[in-house]
Structure 1
Amino acid sequence: MTTPLKDQIVLITGSSRGLGLAIARAFHAEGAKVILNYLQPSSEKAASSAASELSAIAIRADITDLTVVQSLFTQAEQHYGQPISIVVNNALSPFTFNGEARPKLEDITWDAFDAQFKGAVQGALNTTKAALPGFEKLGYGRIINIGSNLVQNPVVPYQDYTTAKGALLAFTRTCAAELGPKGVTVNMVSGGLLSVTDASRGTPEEVFEMVRGVTPLRRVTTPEEMAGAVLFFASPWGRAVTGQNVCVDGGLVMS
């Protein structure tokens, strides 16, 4: 794909706030047309406000329901007059990064794993399947999945969350292998602890201080900095890159 970002239609799941909204703003700044997605009725006001700010459309949809996701893609194509060409799988099942409060291995249940797998893997599977007809019309497509550096460096063993993100990395690479001949790239951007999102709001300040102290850049990564890496994979500059995972965490994880 050599088409500039300003001519692209972008879906960002889970984008009424936090990292998803930062990614949406980054695409808007490059002239792309944005679809915001949210799930909870309590997010409707924030999503509507963000849509007004970004001249975007906001669509409520449960990404774990394939029929609902397919409807979202149809609505978006009807609104903009062309298919979605870039998908950013950012939506996260409810989760709080607080190591002291996390369920330990002896107590955690499969239900916790199931919830994270549905949000991360089933959601990405559904948006990928729904995107394929549009990608085939266009002759290209971009999928960027949001991962976590905890897969490479599980300093806090969030069993359910990290396992789901590890599975999403495997899904990223298998999709890249299968969809490459169709002109579709599939990559992952993995963040560390971000300052500040709803998920990290419950993280004690001493943890932020610890992360700053051991990170080469001596600061905690922001959602806006992660958004820059997403834009690279989505842009013409990333057209020959697929099946890759880049950690945006100030150098905490190096590979």
Structure 2
Amino acid sequence: MQIHDQVVLVTGGARGLGLAISQCLIAEGARVVVNYHASKAQAEQLALQHPQQVFACQADVTDKAQVLRLFAAAKNHFGAAVTSVVNNALIRFEFNGDARPKVEDLTAETMLQQFDGAVLAAINTTQAALDDMKQAGFGRIINIGTNLVQNPVVPYHDYTAAKAALLAFTRTAAQDLGQFGINVNMLSGGLLQATDASKATPDAVFEMIAAATPLRRVTTPEEFASAIMMFLSPYSRAVTGQNLIVDGGLVKG
């Protein structure tokens, strides 16, 4: 199925990286379900700009009941089921090395908040999409990870552990769902310049990353978003259970 034939849900799709993903999908001709939690104005503005392609819908993706309502509303709006899901939403996190919790500060609440935002949210959207994807014999699920799992240059313990768990779920889900024509993959980025989550990062950190990166620059949200299109396109129909690192070559493998 070509991208322009798909109905793609982007969680957290109204700001930061999510907005870049939504805009890239719009440019490809897809119908886009822009999920938001608090960014109502931004989501509705996007829907006003692209009324034929964008449906903005509020839902807390850690709440299964709200996610089920989100999928039903999207299907009703477009008259077609969601074919593809990009699990992008980031729950209350900021890349601020000085303010991060150290090992001695970690709590179950801190860890579970990030686990819920990464893994539970992906489980909720995957389960909500399954019936229609199975019926169609087609589905694309793309989870957004981080290269900090491979290279924890800044030890964001809660965030990185949650994304590592999401990578494991990506691979187990791919094994379970491939028989139905559903591909599950992950794209992992480094620090992006710039998003709401990275605005607290000092310029010196971006400069250090750029100097160590083969492309000699920090990846932008738009560059990362464009790589997602590969996993949505027919060219990756035999690719599942993979983790593609998109960071300009900084981290290998």
TM range (shorter): over 0.9
- Aligned equivalent of 2:13: 15
Q: Deviations over 1:87-131 (max 9, x none)?
A: 000001111111122111111212111110010000000000000
**Segments of 4+ in structure 1 off by > 4 A?**
none
Bigger mean CA deviation after superposition, 43-52 or 152-161: 43-52
- Aligned equivalent of 2:123: 125
- TM (norm. structure 2) is 0.98
- Aligned equivalent of 1:208: 206
- Aligned equivalent of 1:192: 190
Looking at structure 2, the residues matched to 253 and 106 of structure 1 have their Cα atoms a distance apart, in angstroms, of 28
- The answer as to whether partners of 1:34 and 1:54 remain within 8 angstroms in 2 is no
- Aligned equivalent of 1:30: 28
Runs (5+) with no aligned partner, structure 2: none
- TM (norm. structure 1) is 0.97
Partner residue of 2:47 out of 51, 54, 57:
51
Q: Report the CA distance between 1:137 and its aligned residue.
A: 2.1
- Aligned equivalent of 1:144: 142
For the residue of structure 1 that corresponds to 2:175, the secondary structure is: helix
Matched, 1:178 2:176: yes
Looking at structure 2, the residues matched to 128 and 121 of structure 1 have their Cα atoms a distance apart, in angstroms, of 10
Runs (5+) with no aligned partner, structure 1: none
Q: Deviations over 1:158-199 (max 9, x none)?
A: 000000000000000000000000000000000000000000
Count the aligned residue pairs. Answer: 251
Matched, 1:101 2:111: no
Partner residue of 1:217 out of 193, 198, 215:
215
Q: Report the CA distance between 1:54 and its aligned residue.
A: 3.2
- The percentage of aligned residue pairs carrying the same residue is 58
Looking at structure 2, the residues matched to 186 and 53 of structure 1 have their Cα atoms a distance apart, in angstroms, of 30
Say what the alpha-carbon RMSD is for the aligned residues.
Answer: 0.8
For the residue of structure 1 that corresponds to 2:109, the secondary structure is: helix
- The answer as to whether partners of 2:95 and 2:198 remain within 8 angstroms in 1 is yes
Looking at structure 1, the residues matched to 25 and 41 of structure 2 have their Cα atoms a distance apart, in angstroms, of 21
For the residue of structure 1 that corresponds to 2:201, the secondary structure is: coil
- The answer as to whether partners of 1:70 and 1:130 remain within 8 angstroms in 2 is yes
Looking at structure 1, the residues matched to 78 and 43 of structure 2 have their Cα atoms a distance apart, in angstroms, of 18
The one-letter code of the counterpart of 1:138 is A
Looking at structure 2, the residues matched to 229 and 172 of structure 1 have their Cα atoms a distance apart, in angstroms, of 17
